[in-house]
A and B are shown apart, each in its own frame.
Chain A
Amino acid sequence: MTPDNPAMLTTKFWDEAKNKKLVRPVCGTCNTSFFSPQILCPWCQSGNWEFKESTGKGSIYSYTIVHRPPDDDYPNPYVIIDVELEEGWRMYSRLIDCSPSEVKIGQAVRVSFQIFKEKMLPFFKVGEE
């Protein structure tokens, strides 16, 4: 169900992240996943959707190794990825605990929650398990 208050559209995503669960909107009408959360499903414009837990498994569609960290909380370099999740949705994240030379397009990754700047975030790690 979509929230009554549009300002709450993404609240559940971050609430579930606190419990180390990765969720995404799944449309009850056309049964597809989408991201980021929207009031209506972008595939069929239905408002009948709910957040469902993802396996957190996916692969790297693309990535960039960044050598200019915004501040000292970031490693230098750090890796930003565009993840294709196995349920057919996508999100940006950061690949952690890896050597930049290991990063490849198509590489299997899995979600790995970690607190960053006082917020629990869905980062990813290399490998399926």
Chain B
Amino acid sequence: MNKPEIAIVGIGITKQAKSIDTSTIQICEEAVQKALDDAGMDMAEVDGIAARWPGPGGTELDPGVVDWTGIFGKPFRWVGDTYPQGIPGLLDAAAAVSFGLCNVAIVFGGQAGVLKRAQLADYTQPTNEFVEPWGLFTAAHFAMVAQVYFQRFEPDRLRMSSIASEIRNAGSQNPEAVMYGKGPYTPEDIIQSPKVAEPFHLLDLCLATEGASAFIVTSTDRARDCPQKPIRILGGSSEWYRQQYVNPVRYDEVKNLGKEAFKRTFKQSELNVQDIDLFELYDINTWEIVRQFETLGLCDEGDGSDFLFENGIGANGKYPTNTDGGLLSFSHTGWGGPNLKVIEAVRQLRGQASGLQIQDPKHALVTGAGSGAQYFNAAVLSTE
């Protein structure tokens, strides 16, 4: 494995909000245009695409991503339809460019006009016959994994909650965050928020919001002519343990999900975790942050919340984490949500954060998915 000669040269992000009165296709197109402008490129140059086809219109046949040719009025040389967002989308695009399947790939996603004021987003309530009858939903799957940890290790609840309050307070100060201006929160506020699926309270859980984002991937050669500082992808890897949200997922099987992906990512990047200046981790809930730091090997199983409380995850802490407010406070746009980790890492590495800016970060770790989903992915992005 060598460090790939691949970079992100453009990012685009639309307004993020609880509900946006347009369509998913329209808001995705807006994010695409912003990413192209940022990269100094025209759509004519883009010959690779990874994005879900949301409809309406188009076909139900796979690969659904080809339906986007009807919107952009042009053919593509490469389409990525396996998991066309977040880190898997990024890595697939990087592989496609490396192999010459395309020269410039765009990855995008998001949603608009779908959530309205639903209490729960549709995509969090799978309709499987062995899941639906029990009133199961995504947060409850994750809660059952976390419950074992909470009972086995009895973490200090205030220290655990301080992870949520830190991340949410970063979002409070970020004008682009959906929860901008809300808070500040104390750890006590997190515990006092309504219980949703124990051990999680409302403020432990990620948002379900609307908005879109896009990023453009190409070779480091092509990146030299782009207006923005190129952000290199130094390494990345995925773990697919089992299909998500069907059969029971158990703490003892998934507690270290990501360990192998981290190992391969750091090896390919020729870095180790101590070299990371910035952590943009998938915060579907508070505890997943703890689990990821334990899986990274920075602390022992059961000690994560104490470790993070003592070292700090805020902008001035030892491990700056989810600097935009994360999925807890910035936004979580359904299948477009995983892209947001990449967007914030690129902004920080460029020195263009919309909220709190970390001083001169060089290497960022970005992650996606988590224990309850039974798959996980990681990548290292860098200014070097």
Contacts and interface: CB of A to CB of B under 8 A. Distances in A.
Contacts of B133: 94, 116-117, 119, 121
Interface in B132-189: 133-137, 140, 143-145, 147-148, 151
B359 interface: no
Interface string B27-60: 0000000000000000000000000000000000
Contacts of B264: none
Interface residues of A, number: 29
Contact of B248 (A14, A61, A66, A68): A61
A113 interface: no
B145 A62 contact: yes
B135 A94 contact: yes
Contacts of B250: 61-62, 82, 90
A14 B250 CA distance: 25
B351 interface: no
Contact of B143 (A64, A90, A119, A121): A64
B247 interface: yes
B197 interface: yes
The secondary structure that dominates the B interface is: loop
Interface in B191-238: 194-199
A88 interface: no
B200 to A, nearest CB: 8
B356 interface: no
B307 interface: no
A74 B137 CA distance: 14
B248 A70 contact: no
A91 interface: yes
Contacts of A82: 144, 248, 250
A87 to B, nearest CB: 15
Given A61-B250, A64-B147, A68-B196, A93 B129 contact: no
Contacts of A105: 147-148, 151
B19 interface: no
B199 to A, nearest CB: 8
B246 A66 contact: no
